[in-house]
Every structure is written in C-alpha cells, then in structure tokens.
C-alpha cells in the first residue's frame, strides 16, 4: 500500500475514533444516568419504596435518547432483607425527549418494562403500612408523553401465579387529557381477560379528580362488565366514587351494576357499596376496603387465628351459583346488620347462610 494512502487511512481512523469518543462522552454527559437513576430512587423513596438495579443504568442516544435499566427490584422501604419484593422485572427502558437532555426538567417520554412479576401480598402489606403523610394528593399529575408499555408480566399471590402473560399499554398521561389503559392477561386455567379503562385526570385545590371514567372488562366466554362514572380523592381515606353500568353473564342476561365509594368520616370508615340486580339474583353489599384487605391478609397467614366472616353488611340472593365444579341453588347470604334479629338473639354470628325457600 502506498505510503500516502496508508497515512490517509491512519488519519481517517484517528478522526473517526475521536468522533466516537466525543459522542460517547457527550452521550454520558447529556443523559447523566446517575441523575435519572437518583430521580427514580428519590420518587420511589417518597412513596415509601426502595428501588434497586442490578447494574447502573446504561445510556443510548439513537434512535432516541433512552436509559436501559437491568434487574429492577421494588420493595417497601421498611421491609427486611428477606421480604418479598413488590415488583421484580428483568429490564426496563426509559425513553426521553431531546429537550430533557438540554434542560433541567426531567421528563419521561415512554416507559417500557419487560417480564415484571408483581406480588399481591407484598403490595397489600405496603398499602396497609403507608404512613398518613404519604397518603396525600400530589401537587400535580406526573407526565408521561407517550405512555407505558409492559410485556410478559405475571401477578402472584401466596407464591401461586394468579395472572400470566400480562401485557399493558397506556396512552399519554397529562392533566386534563384523556388517559387510557389496555390490559390483557390469562387466568390460571388459560382463560384470557381484557381490561379497558379510560379517564380524564386533574388536580385542583388539593383534590385528585378522575372524570369520565369508562371501564370495560371481558373474557373469552363473553362475560362482560361496563361501568361509567367519576371519582375524587382528597388524601388518605377521604375518597369518593360513583360508577354505574351493566354486567352481562353468559346464559343469564344483563344485570344492573353499581359501585360506590363513600369517604371516611368520624366513627365511620371508608365504605365500598356493591350492587348487582338481575331477574333472579340480587347482591347488595357494604364493605370497608381497609378492613377487608386486613381480613384477606389474615387468610394468607398460617399463624393467623381461625377463619372469620369477612367484614361488611349486606345480602346476597342467587337462584344458582356455579364455582368450578360446585353447583349451588337457592343461595341466600346475610351478613352484618342484614342478619335477622331472631338469629342475632339466638347467637352473635355476623353471617347467615341458608338456601332460599323454593
């Protein structure tokens, strides 16, 4: 090879290597992985959670600025070293807008999480142990420019898989704009589920408002639920919600459905009202969600006392009920204040279960 050509190749290689080095340095300086990682950990800490990664976040610049997260673990801040994580994920990716690189404001354009595993028991324990100061309305709606994407997730409870093949997609999250969530999954028996939820979130005067709520749930057997309404949250247990719609059950037709949440008041807990009215079936229940969650946790605790009736008031009347291979006809259940006075005088049970007269 002629000497001039060899010198030219060496010079070009040196220039190219210099450009690559400059790009890598600029990439690190612009994305500042430590800055974004610290931001995520701080936001998790403010929510009473501890976020850890198996390795430092790695930046990429093309085709869009992004941070790759490996080995994501999310646990309650006060959890011990042997506590089950609320969330485990193989990896994730934060896509960032170009303006974030040059400005001080940290904005996430899109969040992607692959193979997450959510533990319901750990999640419920964290929610139950939230201190009052954490259960407050944020000052503003967090912004995600183009949404969240989750693939190949799972939900477990008592170390048993509850949902598999979970996929989730959301739209843009911004105050005063419609936000939607599409979720699909499979139950343990392979039955596919579809959830579609949309609402318009906003925060004003310390109140989180969810307007124009629309909920659609369906499975492969054409069983479906449709609800519309609104909700308000003022912090802690000061919340309200009103949803109304229909519930369609295969071979049994349509039911009128209603879900209401009334805020806690003096000597009165947060209450969830469930109503389902059909031709032969009627459900009218009043349940305290926080006490119900504690009761549910006790069921999963082998050291807990014996089985007790769930907290709440109301009545269930069903012409027939099929749960797996169990078939029941003429079912009537009264609980709490709905138990007849005669039954209360004979003994102090909180639940009455009897067949309906034929």
Query: Cα(153)–Cα(115) distance, rounded to whole angstroms?
Result: 5
pLDDT the model gives residue 314: 83
Tokens 């909180």 locate to: 350
pLDDT the model gives residue 100: 60
Confidence of residue 21 (pLDDT cuts 50, 70, 90): low
Q: Is the pLDDT score of 102 beyond 70?
A: no
pLDDT the model gives residue 132: 64
The answer to whether the CB of 233 falls within 8 A of the CB of 256 is no
Which helix (H) or strand (E) element contains residue 343? helix 341-346
Tokens 């005669």 locate to: 342
Residue 166 burial by CB count (10 A; 0-12/13-18/19+): exposed, middle or buried? Answer: buried
Mean of the per-residue pLDDT values for the chain? 78
Greater pLDDT, 53 or 158: 53
Which helix (H) or strand (E) element contains residue 294? helix 289-299
Tokens 């999640």 locate to: 123
Report the pLDDT averaged over residues 106-125: 84
The answer to whether the CB of 210 falls within 8 A of the CB of 239 is no
pLDDT the model gives residue 30: 54
- 324 alpha-carbon distance from chain centroid: 27
Q: Is the pLDDT score of 205 beyond 80?
A: yes
Q: Is the pLDDT score of 90 beyond 60?
A: yes
Query: Cα(357)–Cα(331) distance, rounded to whole angstroms?
Result: 9
**Helix, strand, coil percentages for the chain (3-state, nearest 5):** 20, 45, 30
pLDDT the model gives residue 353: 43
Give the Cβ contact number of residue 325 at 10 Å: 5
pLDDT the model gives residue 64: 75
Query: Cα(45)–Cα(302) distance, rounded to whole angstroms?
Result: 31
Q: What's the full length of the chain, in residues?
A: 358
Q: Is the pLDDT score of 344 beyond 80?
A: no
Report the pLDDT averaged over residues 273-289: 84
Q: Is the pLDDT score of 164 beyond 60?
A: yes
In this structure, which long-range contacts are made by residues 59-65, counting pairs with CB atoms below 8 Å and at least 24 apart in sequence?
59/27, 59/28, 59/31, 59/33, 60/27, 61/23, 61/27, 61/30, 61/31, 64/95, 64/96, 64/98, 64/109, 65/30, 65/31, 65/95, 65/96, 65/97, 65/98, 65/100, 65/101
Report the pLDDT averaged over residues 249-253: 75
Confidence of residue 242 (pLDDT cuts 50, 70, 90): very high
pLDDT the model gives residue 302: 56
pLDDT the model gives residue 303: 59
Q: Is the pLDDT score of 355 beyond 50?
A: no
pLDDT the model gives residue 237: 76
Report the pLDDT averaged over residues 98-123: 77
pLDDT the model gives residue 298: 63
pLDDT the model gives residue 241: 93
Report the pLDDT averaged over residues 218-230: 88
Q: Is the pLDDT score of 348 beyond 50?
A: no
Report the pLDDT averaged over residues 134-143: 77
Report the pLDDT averaged over residues 296-321: 67
pLDDT the model gives residue 144: 81
Confidence of residue 200 (pLDDT cuts 50, 70, 90): very high
Question: Of 270, 288, 276, whose CA–CA distance to 336 is shortest?
Answer: 288
Query: Cα(324)–Cα(332) distance, rounded to whole angstroms?
Result: 19
Quote the percentage of the chain above a pLDDT of 70. Answer: 72
């Amino acid at each position: 090879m002629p000497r001039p050509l060899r010198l030219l190749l060496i010079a070009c290689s040196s220039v190219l290597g210099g450009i690559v080095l400059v790009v890598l340095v600029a990439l690190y300086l612009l994305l500042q992985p430590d800055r974004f990682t610290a931001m995520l950990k701080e936001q998790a800490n403010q929510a009473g959670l501890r976020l850890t990664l198996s390795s430092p976040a790695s930046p990429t610049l093309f085709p869009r600025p992004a941070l790759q997260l490996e080995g994501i673990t999310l646990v309650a801040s006060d959890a011990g070293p042997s506590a089950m994580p609320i969330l485990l994920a193989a990896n994730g990716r934060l896509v960032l807008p170009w303006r974030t690189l040059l400005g001080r404001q940290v904005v996430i354009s899109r969040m992607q999480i692959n193979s997450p595993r959510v533990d319901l028991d750990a999640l419920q324990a964290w929610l139950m142990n939230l201190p009052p100061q954490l259960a407050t309305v944020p000052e503003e709606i967090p912004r995600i420019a183009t949404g969240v994407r989750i693939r190949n997730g799972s939900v477990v409870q008592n170390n048993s898989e509850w949902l598999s093949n979970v996929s989730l997609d959301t739209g843009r999250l911004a105050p005063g704009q419609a936000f939607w969530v599409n979720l699909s999954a499979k139950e343990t028996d392979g039955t596919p589920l579809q959830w579609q939820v949309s609402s318009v979130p906003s925060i004003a005067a310390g109140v989180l408002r969810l307007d124009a709520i629309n909920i659609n749930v369906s499975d492969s057997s054409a069983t479906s639920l449709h609800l519309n309404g609104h909700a308000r949250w003022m912090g802690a247990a000061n919340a309200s919600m009103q949803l109304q719609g229909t519930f369609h059950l295969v071979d049994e037709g349509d039911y009128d459905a209603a879900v209401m949440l009334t805020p806690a008041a003096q000597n009165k807990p947060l209450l969830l009202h469930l109503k389902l009215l059909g031709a032969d079936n009627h459900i009218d229940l009043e349940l305290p969600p926080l006490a119900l969650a504690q009761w549910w946790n006790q069921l999963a605790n082998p050291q807990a006392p014996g089985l007790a009736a769930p907290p709440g008031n109301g009545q269930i009347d069903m012409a027939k009920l099929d749960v797996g291979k169990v078939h029941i006809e003429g079912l009537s259940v009264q609980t709490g204040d709905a138990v007849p006075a005669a039954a209360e005088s004979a003994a102090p049970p909180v639940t009455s279960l009897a067949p309906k007269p034929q």
